[in-house]
Structure 1
Amino acid sequence: MAICDFDMIFKYVIVGWEGTSHDSRILTEIIRDPNHHFPMPPDDKYYLVDAAYTHTKGFMAPFYHVCYWLNDFSSGGRARGREEIFNHYYSRTRNVIERAFGVLKVCFPILKRMAPYSLCTQRNIVIACISLHNFLRDELFLQYDDEDIQLDNNDAN
């Protein structure tokens, strides 16, 4: 689980959970455990979360059963109705984290096909790749600054 700013810099990352753990369970456990030092948003702010999370205080999820992915809007025309319009703007804004993960996986292909290392070693590889991403962001990733770049949804997570 990660928090990313609009410059595609990872601000908070937690790794080491099993791949079968549900996203909302991980978030709930991290928030409850003060040892994780989770940075809750201020009362008047929200983190944008994907459809795997629930819409709760501090976390804004998209409307269900309404166009959500940017590709849905580009192939189906303009957004219509309040919920579609909200999801369209939401998706454009949330696309930053999708691009950040996409860039991370392009630059560090080991993240796409992790070798069968121990869970601790896999966790350390992910942390190292994210740290290098943040350190080198301004130098190497300028080509990915275009907000309209759309990555394949399967590659961006």
Structure 2
Amino acid sequence: MAVCDFDMIFRFVVVGWEGIAHDSRVLTETIRNPQHNFPMPPSEKYYLVDAAYTHTQGFMAPYRNVRYWLSDFRSGGKAVGKEEIFNQCHARLRNVIERAFGVVKARFPILKRMAPYSFTTQTKIVMTCFSIHNFLRQISVADRLFSEYDNEVELESDNANQNQNSTTSSFFAASDQEFMQQFRNQIANELFQVFS
């Protein structure tokens, strides 16, 4: 699991989760484990997350069951209504994580098919790849991959991740989820006024 900023620099990466797990479960376990030192956003800030995560304080997810993927807007026409407009803006902003992962995977093919090293060595390889990526990005090297991924890339629709894990959403307080729903509605209303 990773957090990146709008400059495609990874600000937090956690590796070492063996097997298959729902994205929101990985996040919940990362937050619960003080050894990870997960950087929760300040109260007035939030992370943009996809629909696989709980929409709660500090985590802004898109509206469910509303067009979201950029390809849907390209092929299906202009966003209509406040929820679609919000989702389109959300997808465009969140696209930076897809681009950042695209650069890392293109630069380090070992991440696509990890060699049979020990689990500890594998986690060190992953962290090293992210560290080198950040170093290259921060020193502003003229780089073919960064140039190639400067524009939006297609987000992969993963319908399996659209269903939220109920045990994960119970980890977050209902009042925090209600607050973020109202906050998202406020943003959607303001975007609707601007773009309609």
TM-score by length of 2: 0.73
Q: 1:28 — aligned with what? A: 28
Match of 1:99 in 2: 99
Q: What secondary structure, in the 3-state scheme, does the structure 2 residue paired with 1:146 have?
A: coil
CA separation of 1:7 and 1:144: change in aligned 2, threshold 3 A: farther
Preserved CA contact (<8 Å) 1:3 1:13: yes
* Counterpart contact for 1:2–1:12, Cα < 8 Å: yes
Structure 2 gap ranges (5+): 158-196
Give the AA of the match of 2:115: A
Task: Please say if 1:143 is aligned against 2:133.
Answer: no
Q: Does 1:74 align with 2:78?
A: no
Mapped to 1, the partners of 2:132 and 2:154 lie a distance apart of 21
Percent sequence identity over matched residues? 65
Q: Distance in 2 between matches of 1:91 and 1:151?
A: 10
Tell me by how many angstroms 1:3 deviates: 0.5
Structure of larger gyration radius: 2
Shift of 1:151: 4.2
User: Equivalent residue for 2:115?
Assistant: 115
In structure 1, the gaps of 5 or more residues are none
1:64 maps to amino acid: R
Query: What are the within-5 Å matches in structure 2 for residues 14-53 of structure 1?
Result: 14-53=14-53
Shift of 1:117: 2.2
Between the two proteins, the alignment pairs up a number of residues equal to: 153
Higher relative contact order, chain-length normalized (CA < 8 Å, sep 6+)? 2
SS for the counterpart of 1:104 is helix
Q: Which runs of 4+ in 1 moved over 6 A?
A: none
Q: Distance in 2 between matches of 1:113 and 1:5?
A: 26
- Distance across 1 between alignment mates of 2:149 and 2:16: 29
Aligned-partner residue type, residue 72 of structure 1: D
Q: CA RMSD in A?
A: 1.6
Q: What's the CA shift string for 1:13-62, capped at 9, x where partnerless?
A: 00000240111111111112222111100101110111111101100111
CA shift for structure 1 position 145: 5.5
- Is contact 2:2-2:13 (8 Å) kept? yes
Label 1:74 to 1:103 Cα distance change in 2 as closer, same or farther (>3 A). same
SS in 1 for 2:38: coil
SS of corresponding position for 1:122: helix
Q: Provide the residue aligned with 1:5 in structure 2.
A: 5
* SS class of match (1:66): coil
**TM-score relative to the length of structure 1:** 0.91
Report the residue type matching 1:22 in the other structure.
Answer: H
Give the structure with the higher percent helix.
2
**3-state SS of 1:99 partner:** helix
Cα distance in structure 1, aligned partners of 2:72 and 2:99: 17
C-alpha distance in 1 between matches for 2:117 and 2:21 = 19
